[in-house]
A = this chain, B = another copy of it.
Amino acid sequence: MARVSSLLSFCFTLFIFFHGYTAQKFPNECQLDQLNALEPTHVLKSEAGRIEIWDHQAPQLRCSGVSFARYIIEAKGLYLPAFYNTAKLSFVAKGHGLMGRVIPGCAETYQDSPLFQPGRGGQYGEGQGQEGRQGQGQEGRHGQGQEGRHGQGQEQGQRQSQSFRDMHQKVEQIRTGDTIATSPGVAQWFYNDGQRPLVIVSVFDLASDQNQLDRNPRPFYLAGNNPEGQVWLQGREQNPQNHIISGFAPEVIAQAWKIDLELAKKIQKPNEKHGNIVRVEGQFSAIRPPLRGQRPQEEEEERRGGEGNGLEETICSARVTENLDDPSNADVYKPQLGYISTLNSYDLPILRFLRLSALRGSIRQNAMVLPQWNANANAVLYVTEGEAQVQVVNDNGDRVFDGQISQGQLLSIPQGFAVVKRATSQRFEWVEFKTNANAQINTLAGRTSVVRGLPLEVVSNGFGISLEEARRVKFNTLETTLTHSSGPISQGRPRVAYA
């Protein structure tokens, strides 16, 4: 009978297990009684960098309907083109580099100048209108360029004289503070042309209509691979991920690209150890414009001109990048305290379609961002530098987070949850991604706060205080967003954030 007993206990355990599950069958992902500062749960290593992924099934990210990743691209690292099933908003946390996107149906507006290529200049440009010439292009060049990948450095050096004349879609220089909007299905690549690592963080909006698949982030690789598989997806853990071209029969690729079968097969078998970020040997000579911001005035004029003359209206030339690190463009700027810049669909119209916006903050030690809540958006806050003491209060009035968050950590702040931040290091810098093209905040204190909008009688009766006390609550704080904090904002030991 001992076995029967243990069986009974097993069944009972089973019952409890499922009972717990079914009791939650009405979705309540946002009944969050505790938040944590989150750190990545998965790391995908590549030849020249790594991708760090936050678990999108963690309760607070599920509630916010987003997923999050950090791309660390080493010097000369090339993040190979990939696209996602979701709208994506990225922020360059460190370094600088090049970024390209390929928008369906748009023209290759970046072309090598014919001045430097007297040899066969104009061949491809002219060849474009003449269909049926396929196959001709590769004649006469056979034998050159067969060295494979490791011969490229040498080959590339010869490029100018041999007159490979390339043309491709727009390439942009990116640098710290750039915020980049990417539509679903649009392939994007990054190249680190600096000496330091290029660090980019991205939020993926799983819950918006732009994502028509399920609520999982699904990268589609156009090149490269991921030997560890999509470890953040159940059932894909040890199933290596390949680029989509490798999934077709080699004959398809050979016929589609009009190349020989050997080359098609070679393309379909990328070096398994390289992953999705490869090291570029030799020169990376993609055509690129001068860096934005190096000539701020001209650039500004150019941009305004672009907006005025209708060029902004086509999807091919739509601006997708804005730098949030220039204090002169800040929405809130107090020399003694710091600055806050926001980016919404008024600044970057493409965000209207993507249902995303961003906020960049940089504050000095002991500066406090007055308590506030997001009226119509979920937010995720990523720390790019320093650390801060943060408190978050949920719908029940419970303090669900009270601790430090520091560089590299992520904190989810769902719609309506109230939050206060106070810098506890020399400088605290962060970026917030919000799931609304025009996210609105309400502040609890200050000149544009909710208490200022309430009649004195409401404040007084609401808090059970005198009219004179209510008057102080309403009118004492004249700042709008940032103030100076005279000391720690919690008496007890701050709860240590773990992730």
CB pair A145–B104 under 8 Å, yes or no, is no
Within A14-51, the residues touching B (CB, 8 Å) are 14-15, 18, 21-31
How many angstroms from the CA of A258 to the CA of B7 in the assembled complex? 63
Contact of A63 among B131, B214, B479 (CB under 8 A): B214
How many angstroms from the CA of A253 to the CA of B399 in the assembled complex? 13
For A280, the closest partner residue in chain B by CB is B461
In the assembled complex, which residues on chain B have CB atoms less than 8 Å from the CB atom of A286?
Answer: 455-458
For A246, the closest partner residue in chain B by CB is B397
Size category of the A interface is: 35 or more
Query: A346 an interface residue at 8 Å Cβ cutoff?
Result: no
How many angstroms from the CA of A1 to the CA of B287 in the assembled complex? 78
Contact of A187 among B224, B414, B450 (CB under 8 A): B450
Q: Mark A446-474, 1 if CB is under 8 A from B, else 0.
A: 11101111111111111111111101110
Given contacts A166-B455, A368-B255, contact A395 B219 (CB under 8 A): yes
A435 to chain B, nearest CB (A): 6
In the assembled complex, which residues on chain B have CB atoms less than 8 Å from the CB atom of A132?
Answer: 478
CB pair A284–B457 under 8 Å, yes or no, is yes
CB pair A104–B230 under 8 Å, yes or no, is no
In the assembled complex, which residues on chain B have CB atoms less than 8 Å from the CB atom of A147?
Answer: 466
CB pair B453–A169 under 8 Å, yes or no, is yes
CB pair A212–B418 under 8 Å, yes or no, is no
Q: Mark A107-124, 1 if CB is under 8 A from B, else 0.
A: 010100000000000001
CB pair B213–A455 under 8 Å, yes or no, is no
CB pair A477–B256 under 8 Å, yes or no, is yes
In the assembled complex, which residues on chain B have CB atoms less than 8 Å from the CB atom of A395?
Answer: 85, 218-220, 230, 241, 244
How many angstroms from the CA of A428 to the CA of B266 in the assembled complex? 32
**Interface 9-residue window, one of A178-186, A300-308, A318-326:** A178-186
How many angstroms from the CA of A64 to the CA of B187 in the assembled complex? 22
Query: A335 an interface residue at 8 Å Cβ cutoff?
Result: no
For A268, the closest partner residue in chain B by CB is B463
Query: A155 an interface residue at 8 Å Cβ cutoff?
Result: yes
Given contacts A29-B214, A478-B131, contact A189 B445 (CB under 8 A): no
Query: A314 an interface residue at 8 Å Cβ cutoff?
Result: no
CB pair B10–A7 under 8 Å, yes or no, is no
In the assembled complex, which residues on chain B have CB atoms less than 8 Å from the CB atom of A416?
Answer: 83-85, 184-185, 213, 218, 220
Contact of A104 among B131, B214, B441 (CB under 8 A): B441
What are some 29 contacts across the A-B interface (CB < 8 A)? A3-B4, A24-B234, A26-B57, A31-B214, A31-B235, A65-B212, A128-B447, A131-B478, A135-B476, A138-B476, A146-B466, A149-B460, A149-B464, A152-B461, A155-B468, A156-B467, A184-B416, A185-B376, A185-B416, A185-B440, A187-B454, A189-B454, A223-B462, A243-B397, A245-B444, A249-B391, A251-B487, A256-B371, A286-B458
A78-B462, A105-B440, A253-B371 known; 6 new pairs, CB 8 Å cut-off, are: A104-B450, A141-B468, A168-B454, A213-B416, A243-B462, A263-B465
Q: 3 closest pairs, A vs B, by CB?
A: A145-B468, A185-B375, A223-B462
